[in-house]
Amino acid sequence: MIRCDTNNLIFALHTVHTSYIMGVDAKGRLLHMYYGPLYESDPLAPPAPVYDPGTLPDRLPQEWPCPGLGDNHAPFFQPEFASGVVAADLRFAAAETVPGKYTLPGLPAFRTTGAPGAETLRITLKDAAGLTVTLLYGVLPGSDMITRAAVVENSGDAPLVLRGVPTAVLDFPQESFPALDLITFDGAWGAEFTPCRAPLRPGVQGVGSVGGIPTHAHDPFVVLCDPGATETAGACWGAALVYSGNYRIQAERTPLGARLSLGIEPFRFAWTLKPGERFTTPEAAFVYSADGLAAMSHRFHRAIRRHLLPARWADLTAPRPVLLNSWEACYFDFDEAKLLRLAAAAKTAGCDLFVLDDGWFKGRDSDTTSLGDWVADTRKLPGGVAGLCQKINSLGLAFGIWVEPEAVSPDSDLYRAHPDWALHIPGRETLAIRHQYTLDFSRAEVRENIWRQLTDLLDSCPVRYLKWDMNRTLANVYSAALPAARQGEVYHRYVLGVYDLQQKLTDRYPDLLLENCSSGGARFDCGMLFYGPQIWLSDKTDALDRLMIQYGASFCYPPCVMGAHFSTVPNHATGRTASVEARMAAALSGTFGFELDLTAYTAAELEALRPFVQFYRDHGALLRTGNVYRLLPPDGAGAAWAIAAADGSEAVVFAAGRVLNGRRLPLPFAQPGSRYAVCAAYTGGARPGAWQPEPAAGARLRVQGLHLPAVPGDMPGYIAWLKETDAE
């Protein structure tokens, strides 16, 4: 709900549990006043701060801080006028409330669908020199989410250049917030999403990317929280940027307080606005919790599931296919006969979908060639993709395929015909990364060529799943289609091009299950989830490593969007061995599939996998829609977690590693007045099909905890299903 006091110019955004309040001071400056627990007092909001000419401008908690007029925080907004002036003085001009949440042309954003009470507040700020900024605030009440974006318009009579533009800024006054912790989610290839928590120190700290994609190093999501905040207590502010390109999220601590800023990375960003032209920023999404990190995560998960995923896939109670991906089974070494044997084994194990990964297109025997030529290699597939698809379908499996549309190999027909279509700096050698270049997706004709190739492929047979990969960062960033003065637009235009093509793809093929990937989690962000309902979380399939990766990702992202597969042992990347139950625990917590050569399994071993597949079918709706509880954080040796129904009536508890030492595990979702049936499987114990329920009191489970078995070995696993049976 949005409430506006038009007499005092105070604007309050309310969700079920939170409030976000702004006010206009006597000089017309829009100030941030409050973001926290639901503010229900009268008057509408706390008194607006009063500033006189003797006050430092740094003390102004402005909703849209401007450079050049005494605000000495690290600048984010940098409008450069034709005169060379880089300064702005934006004052309040108008405000309006409209039902429903705003949309952003050409950009992903949280949706209004299924959001009763969703509203938009538009606040217009103007600079007399010829600049207008319209701030957009979206309210998703039931998900406790506030979103922000902005439209910057050149309302003058000469061109201006944006050399930096934020999406949102949030101030935390020193007197109210003397100390805060910053949590970021960092890593590398195969080690994404490691949480890093540290006190917010004086100066600027933050995360970002200049690689054209978010990269493995940092995710575009951060948390500010009370120093004492835990999973179940303390104030937490989560902030995510709904964007898939270069970005910056920075927190700055000064003696006057802290400021959090989110937006496009200013490096190599320079966007020219002619008179009357507008620039729309990406969206930022905020969630506040007074009850710790778990509640913050639950609210983000609820909003992503309800309001971000494509409409076709928003019903998470509907079945999702269990797939087998061919990559770790075959790599580039396969022919049609080998693929069909693999598919037959996948069917025996209970899979629904067979996915053909890299190596299927002409001349593709290694990663050194052929990207950009999306036509089947008939040496491997005599009947082409359509012929293989028909044979896969005859086994009772749906068919999916891998592509990397943004890349081109120097050794490819596409590059030989159109070398200028790759990003390339004139007069310099083009840098190959992973033996490939990047196509200039800022150009419509480049996207059109890839679009034709993709539609030819997808129209040739019933492809039900498409894995869209992107295996390198951008370099040589220069477009042959833009003049020198507009090269600062290429990075952002590239991202808009990716969004454009994925929107066309999902519009034309609404039933296509699109899974994005970028060497694993290098482009795992809310922007990509707008187009595809799941993302391959990491190329590391080792069960122990996955515990940390999936743990870190869960602070923002629900398990239903995390690509997770059961793989072989010893693991191809680490050489480690883990039990079937440990590997299943990690895989069942995500989208669930297989990534191994099942033709090496005996008939009995394949049959032993089927109960786990059936478990996913039986409990998939709970696993995709439930709340995540991080019960024992990964410590390098193991972890425990649960996914529970919102009312605590049902849950799946997972544990893996050396935490299986006979301890008791308190379950915060268990209802004290209820009794539960507990069905468990673990290494050395029964398979899911043979589970025997044991009764347990909800109060005991909540306080004393669930008794975990003591299981020897480095990576045993445990999976328990709890179901409320009756009241105590």
The residues of the chain that CATH labels 3.20.20.70 are 312-537
- More confident call, 29 vs 726: 29
Section 420-435 average pLDDT? 95
Q: In the structure, what pLDDT confidence band is assigned to residue 45 with cuts at 50, 70 and 90?
A: low
- Under a CB-based contact definition with an 8 Å cutoff, are residues 308 and 316 in contact? no
Section 645-657 average pLDDT? 97
Of the candidates 728, 606, 671, which has an alpha carbon nearest to the alpha carbon of residue 351?
606
Q: Is the pLDDT of residue 49 over 60?
A: no
Look up 469 and say whether it is catalytic: yes
CA-to-CA distance for 463 and 355, rounded, in angstroms?
10
Q: In the structure, what pLDDT confidence band is assigned to residue 661 with cuts at 50, 70 and 90?
A: very high
Q: Is the pLDDT of residue 60 over 90?
A: no
Set 171, 539, 542, 545: catalytic member: 539
Q: Which residues contact 202 (CB under 8 A, 6 or more apart)?
A: 253, 254, 255
CA-to-CA distance for 242 and 107, rounded, in angstroms?
9
CA-to-CA distance for 551 and 629, rounded, in angstroms?
10
CA-to-CA distance for 709 and 711, rounded, in angstroms?
6
Other beta carbons within 10 angstroms of residue 363's beta carbon come to 16
Following CA atoms 350, 352, 354, 355 in sequence, which dihedral angle do they give, to the nearest 10 degrees? Answer: -120
CA-to-CA distance for 116 and 119, rounded, in angstroms?
9
CA-to-CA distance for 44 and 33, rounded, in angstroms?
12
Section 256-261 average pLDDT? 94
Other beta carbons within 10 angstroms of residue 96's beta carbon come to 10
The per-residue pLDDT for 457 is 98
The per-residue pLDDT for 225 is 98
First and final C-alpha spacing in the chain: 39
Question: Looking at 479-539, which runs of residues are DSSP E strands?
Answer: 513-516, 534-536
DSSP 691: -
Token pair, residue 560, equals 């239903």
Q: Is the pLDDT of residue 113 over 80?
A: no
Set 291, 440, 469, 542: catalytic member: 469
Radius of gyration of the chain from its Cα atoms, rounded to whole angstroms: 26
- Under a CB-based contact definition with an 8 Å cutoff, are residues 165 and 246 in contact? no
Of the chain, the percentage scoring pLDDT greater than 70 comes to 97
Q: Is the pLDDT of residue 656 over 60?
A: yes
Q: Is the pLDDT of residue 685 over 90?
A: no
Q: Residue type at 491?
A: Y
The per-residue pLDDT for 694 is 87
CA-to-CA distance for 525 and 591, rounded, in angstroms?
16
Which listed CATH number (1.10.287.130, 2.70.98.60, 2.40.110.10, 3.40.50.920) goes with 79-307? Answer: 2.70.98.60
Q: Is the pLDDT of residue 526 over 70?
A: yes
The per-residue pLDDT for 116 is 85
Residue 178, classified by CB atoms within 10 Å of its CB into exposed (0-12), middle (13-18) or buried (19+), is: exposed
**Helix, strand, or coil (residue 53):** coil
**Domain 312-537, architecture per CATH:** Alpha-Beta Barrel (3.20)
Residue 573, classified by CB atoms within 10 Å of its CB into exposed (0-12), middle (13-18) or buried (19+), is: middle
Element spanning 446, H or E: helix 444-459
Q: In the structure, what pLDDT confidence band is assigned to residue 55 with cuts at 50, 70 and 90?
A: low
Section 164-187 average pLDDT? 96
**Helix, strand, or coil (residue 725):** strand
The per-residue pLDDT for 675 is 96
The per-residue pLDDT for 114 is 72
Q: By mean pLDDT, which of 176-190, 199-213, 629-643, 688-702 is the weakest?
A: 688-702
Token pair, residue 144, equals 């406790």
Section 144-160 average pLDDT? 97
Of the chain, the percentage scoring pLDDT greater than 90 comes to 90
The per-residue pLDDT for 115 is 76
Q: Which residues contact 179 (CB under 8 A, 6 or more apart)?
A: 199, 200, 226, 227
The per-residue pLDDT for 402 is 98
Q: Mind listing the pLDDT tens digit for each residue in 73-104?
A: 888 999 999 999 999 999 999 999 999 999 99
Q: In the structure, what pLDDT confidence band is assigned to residue 501 with cuts at 50, 70 and 90?
A: very high
- More confident call, 263 vs 680: 263
Q: Is the pLDDT of residue 48 over 80?
A: no
DSSP codes of every residue in 408-423: E-SSSHHHHH-GGGB-
- Under a CB-based contact definition with an 8 Å cutoff, are residues 180 and 200 in contact? yes
Helix extents (H) in 626-690: none
The per-residue pLDDT for 53 is 54
The per-residue pLDDT for 693 is 82
Q: Is the pLDDT of residue 691 over 80?
A: no
Q: Is the pLDDT of residue 72 over 80?
A: yes
Q: In the structure, what pLDDT confidence band is assigned to residue 684 with cuts at 50, 70 and 90?
A: low
**Domain 629-727, architecture per CATH:** Sandwich (2.60)
Section 651-667 average pLDDT? 96
Q: Mind listing the pLDDT tens digit for each residue in 307-355?
A: 999 999 989 999 999 999 999 999 999 999 999 999 999 999 999 999 9
DSSP 50: -
Q: Is the pLDDT of residue 186 over 80?
A: yes
The residues of the chain that CATH labels 2.70.98.60 are 79-307
The per-residue pLDDT for 681 is 82
**Helix, strand, or coil (residue 187):** coil
Q: In the structure, what pLDDT confidence band is assigned to residue 44 with cuts at 50, 70 and 90?
A: low
Q: Mind listing the pLDDT tens digit for each residue in 1-34?
A: 899 988 889 999 999 999 999 999 988 999 999 9
CA-to-CA distance for 446 and 420, rounded, in angstroms?
10
The model scores a pTM over 0.85: yes
Q: Mind listing the pLDDT tens digit for each residue in 608-631?
A: 999 999 999 999 999 999 999 999
Of the candidates 239, 286, 691, 266, which has an alpha carbon nearest to the alpha carbon of residue 491?
266
